[in-house]
């Protein structure tokens, strides 16, 4: 069982690791001596085996390149990257346990992550609430989530429904059987509820409860099914908001760029991907941005976050992480946190940007999608979803290109108010859809990441 001191240490180290404070730079050389983002912890069961551990982002498996386990200790090393809101899973016999890890930095580690009664109860509360809200774990902002975690763990230690749920978990977990071999665990599966908190997938197998015939609710009567557990989990899930509460001051700004050969430009014609950029092995997509000279709001910190006009520094992602929705589909993603400003008073950020196909630290030549021009964006949340979202085609010379624009409806210059397709100004998020070459019914909302939220305090 986790003590308050142990939990505090775990949370603190998790936060430090998210900043990359601890690293593997001084590890001794071994056959596994390669950059890693690693998770260390302990298990509820003894004699842990490497084959019993995995990691996911709540949906997709993140394949470790190394797992070590001995006694009740484990180590899971993931390929070095920035990770947020992932779950470490341990499976033994008919038991599955999960622990949420809010963040890990590149070449860093999170230590003291137990797989036990408390972490699985926390995970099920979060999974149940997110499913009812129609949200995914990878859409949750780590900083916003930590407030909810604190509330859950405080409630574990005082009388109430959250503590009651934890006690049910304690009554069930002791009955695991490590000798069983079966495709699905009897407990604890990922719970799924609909928007009315009607259970769609149970965390505990009803047939297993029926065979056991024991009192897991603590009311002195034999429980013959999982109904009481399902109801208690739903009751507790309603108490917490793992996705956090809306941030009144900041927006999530998301850029995606289609790098496929099938991508279309603003004239619904094929894009010449390598008219200006050159291709060679080892290249990937980068974003470079800056606060535009026309911006009513100017902030050196925001300018630096966007890349300060320096090419091939800010990596975009196509691996299903960091806001990328589908791994390997050649649609690259990057996101930023930018202040909302006050658009009604004409006070918002305006940014310039473009994409480069290059290697880390390379110069402009041979990497930029086209020279001498920029894309532009006014940071205004047009549809009120908490995002400012732009989805574009790589090397498109006929849409959001501020000079020498080749769209026949343009004079060659894109301004902050130009509307080429009747879908809204090019410089704002709008409804233009490159797949259908026309206006869609609504502005898209990113699915691979959530809006900027802050920790809920109650």
* Beta strands 375-378; 387-393: pairing state: unpaired
Work out the average pLDDT over 383-390: 94
What is the structure's pLDDT at 455?
Answer: 82
pLDDT at 26 over 70: no
Residue 438 burial (CB count, 10 A): 13
What is the structure's pLDDT at 25?
Answer: 36
What is the structure's pLDDT at 458?
Answer: 64
Q: How would residue 282 be classed by pLDDT, with cut points 50, 70 and 90?
A: very high
**Chain segment 86-142, per-residue pLDDT in tens:** 999 999 999 999 999 999 998 999 999 999 999 999 999 999 999 999 999 988 989
pLDDT at 451 over 80: yes
pLDDT at 278 over 80: yes
Q: Please, are residues 180 and 93 in contact by the beta-carbon 8 Å criterion?
A: yes
What is the structure's pLDDT at 4?
Answer: 40
Residue-averaged pLDDT of the chain: 91
pLDDT at 14 over 90: no
Residue 306 burial (CB count, 10 A): 23
What is the structure's pLDDT at 32?
Answer: 52
Work out the average pLDDT over 422-440: 95
Q: Please, are residues 257 and 392 in contact by the beta-carbon 8 Å criterion?
A: yes
Return all residues near 207 (Cβ < 8 A) that are at least 6 apart: none
How large a percentage of the chain has pLDDT more than 90? 82
What is the structure's pLDDT at 23?
Answer: 38
Work out the average pLDDT over 301-320: 96
Work out the average pLDDT over 188-205: 97
What is the structure's pLDDT at 31?
Answer: 45
Query: Of 241-250, 263-272, 345-354, 411-420, where does mean pLDDT reach its minimum?
Result: 241-250
Give per-residue burial for 324-342: e unless 16+ CB within 10 Å, then b: beeeeeebbbbbbebbbbe
pLDDT at 16 over 70: no
Q: For residue 322, what are the CA distances in angstroms to 312, 318, 387?
A: 17, 9, 15
Strands (E), 163-283: 192-193, 199-201, 245-246, 250-258
Is the model's pTM score more than 0.75?
no
What is the structure's pLDDT at 92?
Answer: 97
Of 184, 100, 214, which Cα lies nearest the Cα of 149?
Answer: 100
pLDDT at 335 over 70: yes
Of 266, 61, 235, 60, which Cα lies nearest the Cα of 165?
Answer: 235
CATH of domain 247-458: 2.60.40.10
Residues paired with 43 in a beta bridge: 115
What is the structure's pLDDT at 422?
Answer: 94
Domain locations along the chain: 4-237, 247-458
Strands (E), 43-144: 53-56, 66-70, 73-79, 83-92, 95-104, 109-110
Work out the average pLDDT over 256-265: 97
């Amino acid at each position: 069982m986790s003590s308050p001191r142990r939990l505090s240490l775990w949370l603190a180290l998790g936060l430090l690791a998210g900043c990359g404070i601890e690293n593997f730079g001084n590890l001794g050389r071994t056959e596994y001596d390669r950059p890693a983002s690693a998770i260390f912890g302990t298990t509820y069961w003894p004699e842990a085996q490497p084959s019993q551990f995995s990691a996911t982002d709540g949906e997709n498996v993140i394949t470790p390149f190394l797992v070590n386990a001995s006694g009740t200790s484990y180590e899971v090393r993931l390929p070095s990257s920035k990770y947020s809101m992932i779950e470490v899973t341990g499976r033994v016999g008919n038991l599955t346990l999960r622990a949420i890890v809010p963040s890990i930095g590149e070449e860093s580690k999170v230590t003291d992550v137990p797989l036990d009664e408390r972490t699985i109860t926390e995970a099920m509360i979060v999974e149940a609430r997110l499913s009812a809200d129609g949200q995914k774990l990878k859409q949750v902002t780590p900083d916003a989530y930590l407030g909810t975690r604190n509330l859950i763990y405080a409630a574990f230690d005082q009388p109430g429904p959250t503590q009651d749920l934890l006690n049910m978990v304690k009554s069930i977990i002791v009955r695991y059987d490590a000798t069983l071999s079966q495709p699905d665990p009897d407990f604890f599966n990922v719970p799924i509820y609909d928007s009315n908190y009607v259970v769609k997938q149970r965390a505990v197998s009803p047939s297993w409860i029926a065979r056991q015939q024991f009192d897991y609710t603590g009311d002195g009567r034999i429980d013959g099914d999982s109904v009481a557990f399902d109801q208690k989990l739903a009751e507790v899930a309603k108490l917490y908001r793992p996705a956090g509460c809306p941030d009144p001051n900041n927006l999530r700004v998301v850029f995606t760029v289609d790098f496929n050969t099938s991508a279309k430009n603003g004239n619904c014609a094929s894009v010449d991907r390598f008219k200006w950029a050159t291709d060679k092995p080892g290249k990937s997509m980068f974003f470079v941005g800056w606060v535009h000279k026309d911006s009513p709001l100017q902030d050196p910190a925001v300018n630096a976050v966007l890349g300060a006009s320096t090419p091939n520094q800010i990596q975009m992602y196509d691996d299903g992480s960091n806001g990328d929705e589908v791994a390997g589909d050649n649609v690259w993603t990057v996101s930023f946190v930018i202040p909302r400003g006050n658009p009604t008073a004409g006070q918002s950020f305006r940014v310039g940007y473009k994409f480069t196909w290059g290697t880390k630290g390379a110069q402009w030549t041979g990497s930029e999608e086209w020279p001498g021009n920029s894309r532009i964006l006014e940071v205004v949340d047009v549809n009120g979803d908490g995002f400012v979202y732009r989805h574009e085609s790589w090397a498109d010379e006929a849409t959001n290109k501020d000079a020498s624009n080749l769209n026949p409806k343009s004079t060659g210059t894109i301004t902050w108010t130009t509307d080429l397709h009747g879908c809204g100004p090019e410089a704002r998020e709008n409804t233009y859809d490159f797949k259908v070459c026309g206006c869609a019914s609504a502005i898209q909302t990113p699915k691979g990441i959530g809006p900027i939220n802050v920790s809920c305090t109650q």
